[in-house]
Amino acid sequence: MQRLFSPSLNSSSTSTLEDSFDLVVLGAGSGGLAAAKRAASYGARVAIVEGDRVGGTCVIRGCVPKKLLLYGAIYKDYIENASSFGVSFEKTTIDSSVLLSNVRDEVDRLNSLHIKFLQNSGVELIRGWASFIDTNTIKVVEGNNYENQRIVYGKNILIAVGGHPTRPRIPGSEFCWVSDDIFLQDKFPETIAIVGAGYIACEFSSILNGLGVNVIQLVRGDHLLRGFDKELSEALKENMYNNGIQIKFGQFPIAVDQKLGSLEIHTNKGEIIKVERILLGTGRIPRLKGLDLSAVGVTVENGKIVVDENQVTNIPNIYAVGDVSNRVNLTPVAIDEGRALSDRLFGDIPRKVNYKLVPKAVFSRPEIGSVGLTEKEAIECYGEENIKVYRSKFRSMSKSLSKKGPSCLLKLIVENLSQKVIGCHMVGESAAEIIQMASIAITMKATKANFDETMALHPTIAEEFVTMV
């Protein structure tokens, strides 16, 4: 291949062929891996720099291990309802240590698999932590060994280092877990307090409750899941209550004390809550510390790197994708951003990412799936008199014999003039799988008539989306 880039002769370090790349990717998470492999498929010489395991938040300490834990939690529901189907158990126990060990083994397998994918793609994996020297030059330090450094040059540099959990600045917060810590445990406690109202807090509340942990959730505001349709969050709240989760709205910790074998939360309302462990599920921020972005003048606002619709920063050859940028922080979005960038840089394909219709899911018990406008957003956009909301609430067949468990809620939001479906939302089993398919229809600008013309598949939950009147 003809080389596209040679470092400046004015550089203070001696350059070699091995040090110079057409694309240097900082971070081997979902977005970085996607960009690196796509660029290499076009013949570009690519390096990816990573100081941690390969796979990023989603594979190592996020989506994948979390959903594996959720599957473990769901078995409790199956067992409790088994007698309705004629299945009996003399005794059942939940050994969280076995589940956690198996989840870690699966994460290790995926880490190794991603390394092999890079090797097969011809991407060089450089181990260590990166920082900028200038707009084309990166210093890589392995661990804390500052004597073991490597200088790497790139015509194009992509920042895809992801994010990390936040820890509120309150006395005693160092005694608490953040979401990364969950997957490192040998077993789960008997009692836990979870702080937060977002998807991280709600998912772990549901998972740990399903695994037999006594869960208390502290929510600063008056509702769960800001940004989701309010009716969905209310349905989840009801089911969390029914599952035995204590949710304390309007309460948040102001201090944490460590006692012998337990922790005490002091809340803003003067309550003291005693539990074995505390999980802070209060959000994530970009992992920018140590990159030395000031050395090259990359614009950062509100803790995020500012990029345009082509993932370009204010420095023309420096790009950012995924959780570090001011876009949508979801794994599939980061992957598409990375691929679109490499398509444009090396494949001569001027493709842009569509941020308008991004499906979202919360892997709680029950699941939530959502795409398009919420009811509130639709009213704000079109006016209440110009939309129509269709909904269906029922108990699924899997719960019909036991007469226990959450109801399903399905919801369509339609704009009256065009009759286009502008929002599709669901609470219930397989919600994420169903919404993924509904996203295709909404992306293609399907109307309510298109939904009505679609033949139902009976008996299923999803058929309700095409039979609503």
97-101 long-range contacts, Cβ below 8 Å, gap at least 24? 97/186, 97/187, 99/68, 99/69, 99/72, 99/211, 100/69, 100/183, 100/185, 100/186, 100/187, 100/188
Residue 135 zone, left/alpha/beta (φ > 0; ψ -120 to 50; rest): alpha
Report, in angstroms and rounded to the nearest whole number, the Rg of the chain calculated over CA atoms: 24
Return the residue matching tokens 């950062």: 300
Amino acid letter for position 170: I
Asked if residues 419 and 448 have their Cβ atoms less than 8 Å apart, the reply is: yes
Handedness of CA 52, 53, 54, 59 (dihedral sign): negative
User: What are φ and ψ of residue 55, in 5° steps?
Assistant: 135, -25
Cα–Cα nearest to 393, from 286, 181, 239, 254: 239
Cα–Cα nearest to 358, from 343, 375, 368, 373: 373
Cis peptide before 253 (omega within 30 of 0): no
Which pair of tokens denotes residue 101?
A: 């060990």
Q: How far apart are CA 25 and CA 52, in angstroms?
A: 14
Asked if residues 274 and 151 have their Cβ atoms less than 8 Å apart, the reply is: no
User: What are φ and ψ of residue 244, in 5° steps?
Assistant: 95, 10
Q: How far apart are CA 409 and CA 391, in angstroms?
A: 7
CA angle, corner 70, sides to 282 and 219, nearest 5? 25
Which pair of tokens denotes residue 369?
A: 């799936």
CA 311 to chain centre: 19
DSSP bridge pairs for 259? 262
Q: How far apart are CA 441 and CA 58, in angstroms?
A: 27
Asked if residues 306 and 128 have their Cβ atoms less than 8 Å apart, the reply is: no
Which pair of tokens denotes residue 247?
A: 């949710």
Is 458 tagged catalytic?
Answer: yes
The residues carrying an active-site annotation are: 458
